[in-house]
Chains A and B, each alone.
Chain A
């Protein structure tokens, strides 16, 4: 049978079917977990940028619970931002942003205070930038610069400056050696903030 002309095609077909079946089965069994992980990382990002909602000691289930109970879904009045409320007053807006980085999409959430002028915090929950360089934008030392950062009124609410340069309102230091990522991230953040502010007016 092995010498027949059709054998290689038949063989390849059978082998592919067997291996694919195993992979499909495997992917199916982990599917819910993978989806939950993805949804979970977004929810945690939203909780982190809103005031007083995130607890580093809370488990995944508890965090999900908090997101469901204490975060309101985006509405027309909030121009696509998630909100948290206390005594009927909005305490913060969580605006998701997304755009093309140097290698792949960068997804994050930016928290804005009730005055709509101050950034509470920023979290980047998905990115594929160069490890050790561009990927540093998702790390705390970089993101911490945004905590309580006042935005400027123009069409560039925030600005990245070269490391070491003096900073004024709305400015943060870019990551050393991550030029492309910085240029793109600055644009992504500014575009979303600008769009959001013009809708909120």
Chain B
């Protein structure tokens, strides 16, 4: 693997992770993480949208006038989001109902715009795609951790299946975990743990 690709993977997944380092895309992180299945579909939709938007922005970068580049980026992002939305409505209507307005809101997910602006706009399409893909994957990993904890502690289930002990009467379900405050608690804890790990790693290399 080329060193550039390796670096992009490392940056997207860890050293420049969109959620706990750049603190982007927090709104959707808080909103969709109360059930694991919803989170998975949301993340797949984001991986698709982010990698392709970044690539398309990059393909058009030589023609797009600078003063309207953000309008063009929004248009490109909206294009892919609508495709995801229509696909879900046609082939997985139940999931489309579950996610409700959140799919449409990927358009306003700051990670997508952020990566198109910061990377897609000034790099060739191939690497822009890789950058988008691994940033979305970095987002996915963090969201999956949050969603797993929230669903198990709050509902006693994982992907809808009952988890031993947590679904029994011995576990008093922490309803607050599936409510909005639970998302803030989990996000803060995850950010704290990952940043501490990152910092101690950096100190060792010094």
Give A residues with C-beta under 8 Å from B: 2, 7-8, 11-12, 15-16, 19, 22-23, 26-27, 30, 33-34, 37-38, 41, 103-104, 126-128, 130-133, 135, 176-177
Contact = CB atoms under 8 A, between A and B. Distances in A.
B20 to A, nearest CB: 23
Given A8-B68, A26-B83, 20 more contacts: A8-B65, A12-B72, A19-B79, A23-B86, A26-B86, A30-B89, A30-B90, A34-B86, A37-B93, A38-B93, A103-B100, A104-B100, A127-B97, A128-B100, A131-B34, A131-B35, A132-B34, A132-B178, A133-B178, A135-B98
Interface string B75-115: 11001001100110111010001101100000000000000
Grouping DSSP codes into helix (H, G, I), strand (E, B) and loop, the B interface class, with mixed when no group exceeds half, is helix
Nearest to B102: A131
Grouping DSSP codes into helix (H, G, I), strand (E, B) and loop, the A interface class, with mixed when no group exceeds half, is helix
Given A33-B90, A41-B93, A132-B34, A11 B154 contact: no
17 contacts: A2-B65, A7-B65, A8-B67, A11-B65, A12-B68, A12-B72, A15-B75, A16-B75, A30-B86, A34-B86, A126-B97, A128-B100, A130-B34, A131-B32, A132-B34, A132-B151, A133-B178
Contacts, number: 72
B60 to A, nearest CB: 7
The size class of the interface chain B forms with chain A is 20 to 34
Nearest to B72: A15
A22 B80 CA distance: 11
B63 interface: yes
User: A2, A19, A104, A126 — which one has the most chain B CB atoms within 10 A of its CB?
Assistant: A19
B175 interface: yes
Interface in B185-199: none
